[in-house]
Amino acid sequence: MFVQLYNKQMKTTIKFRYFFSIFFALLFITSCNIEPFEGEIPEGEISEGDDDVPGVFKVDFDSQTYIADIATASISGDIINITGLRGANQEMVSLTIFASEVGTYSIGVANGITEINGAAYNTNSKDGTGDTWIGVTNFADSQGEITITEIDNQNETISGTFFFTGHHTELESKEFTNGVFDKVSFKSEVAPTSSNNEFFAKVDGVEFKEEKINAIAASGGGISNLGIVATMNNDSRVISLNLDPDVVPGSYELKAFSSPTALYNKSRSEFFSSESGEVIITLHDKANKRIVGTFEFTASSFLNPEEKYEITEGSFDVTYF
């Protein structure tokens, strides 16, 4: 009985960490503010209760109110990112919403693996060593809401409210309540890419003609990822790889519930994970943040394991952020 219970708990934990790691990577890849804030963060300029001060970002957790020293936002197509930074270590609360208009949006519910409204808290985003709490569990149960009450295009500000349950591990969580972002300035931009990035793959023998290639290394909550994401058809089709940021040249098996993993998105609502395959790293220049390799994998659906796709002739040569 104990062995059965232990095995069940281990499988649940592995699955949670798999979802957590995928979402963590995608949250930072799809967020437009994925590069650290440059410069000193001023402290003490906003006091509790200053709801009418432009650029206010605050939320309650751990029996206190987190008030950001700097609040920033960006809008890129139908992706909105809002971030509040505090302190020398750039403690951070970040919101990512797949929307372009006012409304209320659920956090942590999948409308497709690339369309998950997200919320995250990191204790040290400056060097990526902080602990992270993310508003996602199984991509099916809502972990909170973000309400956008105003997008002022003339003054380029965004306002709204939010709350969410942030998960650090399967058993550790925090409640983030009474969240407010008021008249936070935004800019329209796109996620950083490198013009030198190269990517190739075939899906069932047909070339995947990507339009964008993004790559980023990120750490948090005891999980680290080097994510490589190639997208096409306005982000509705995606091939992505999740690697260890410290990976060294060699051959690695791709599986569904262990690192490294790979994903194929057939559409915004259909995603398929690597059930088998291989990635071969031929070069990893950490000093210049360049990684080169090849890959292939069989992608299957969690919901319909019989539906499979063969991803072949994969190769990449990218610079990551």
pLDDT in tens, 202-212: 999 999 999 88
Q: What is the pLDDT of residue 117?
A: 86
Q: What is the pLDDT of residue 164?
A: 97
| Assessment of whether the complete model's pTM goes beyond 0.85 | no
Average pLDDT, the chain: 78
| 3 state SS for the chain | CHHHHHHHHHHHHHHHHHHHHHHHHHHHHHCCCCCCCCCCCCCCCCCCCCCCCCCEEEEEECCEEEECCEEEEEEECCEEEEEEEECCCCEEEEEEECCCCCEEEECCCECCCCCECEEEEECCCCCCCCCEEECCCCCCCCCEEEEEEEEECCCCEEEEEEEEEEECCCCCEEEEEEEEEEEEEEEECCCCCCCCCEEEEEECCEECCCCEEEEEEEEECCEEEEEEEEEECCCCEEEEEEECCCCCCEEEECCCCCCCEEEEEEECCEEEEEEEEEEEEEEEECCCCEEEEEEEEEEECCCCCCCEEEEEEEEEEEECC
Chain-centroid distance of CA 196 in Å reads: 23
pLDDT in tens, 251-293: 999 876 667 889 888 876 677 888 899 999 999 999 999 999 9
Of the two residues 241 and 22, the one the predictor is more confident about is 241
Angle at 224 between CA 221 and CA 230, to 5 degrees: 125
Local confidence band at 55 (pLDDT 50, 70, 90 cut-offs): confident
Q: What is the pLDDT of residue 60?
A: 97
Burial 274-304 (b: 16+ CB within 10 A, else e): bbebbbebeebeeeebbbbbbbbbbbbbeee
Q: What is the pLDDT of residue 219?
A: 55
- Pick the range with the lowest mean pLDDT from 21-30, 51-60, 279-288: 21-30
Question: What are the backbone dihedrals phi and psi of residue 22, each rounded to the nearest 5 degrees, phi first?
Answer: -60, -50
Q: What is the pLDDT of residue 116?
A: 77
Question: What are the backbone dihedrals phi and psi of residue 254, each rounded to the nearest 5 degrees, phi first?
Answer: -95, 125
Of the two residues 198 and 7, the one the predictor is more confident about is 198
Of the two residues 278 and 16, the one the predictor is more confident about is 278
- Pick the range with the lowest mean pLDDT from 3-12, 21-30, 64-73, 294-303: 3-12
Local confidence band at 6 (pLDDT 50, 70, 90 cut-offs): very low
Q: What is the pLDDT of residue 24?
A: 53
